[in-house]
Amino acid sequence: MRWQTFYEGRWIFGVLVVLTAISLWVFPWAAIVFGGLILFSISFFRDPKREIPADPLAIVSSADGVVADIETQVDGPYPDLPIRVGVFLSVFNVHVNRSPIAGEVIFTEEKNGKYLDARHPDASALNAFRAWSIRGPERSVAVRQITGAIARRIVAWSKPGDVLEKGERFGMIRFGSRTEVFLPADCEVLVSIGDKVEGGLSIIARFPEKTEERS
Q: CA torsion angle for 194, 182, 48, 53 (degrees, to 10)?
A: 90
Q: Which candidate in 61, 133, 140, 177 is catalytic?
A: 177
Dist CA 173 CA 155 (whole Å): 6
Please, which residues have CB within 8 angstroms of residue 181's CB and are 6 or more apart in sequence?
59, 61, 62, 84, 85, 87, 100, 141, 142, 143, 204, 205
The answer to whether residue 90 is catalytic is no
- For 18, phi and psi rounded to 5 degrees? -65, -45
Residues paired with 140 in a beta bridge = 135
Buried b (16+ CB within 10 A) or exposed e, 77-95: ebeebbbbbbbbbeeebbb
Residues paired with 163 in a beta bridge = 104
> What single-letter amino acid sits at 167?
G
Under 8 Å between Cβ of 161 and 131: no
Dist CA 91 CA 151 (whole Å): 9
> What residues are labeled active site?
177
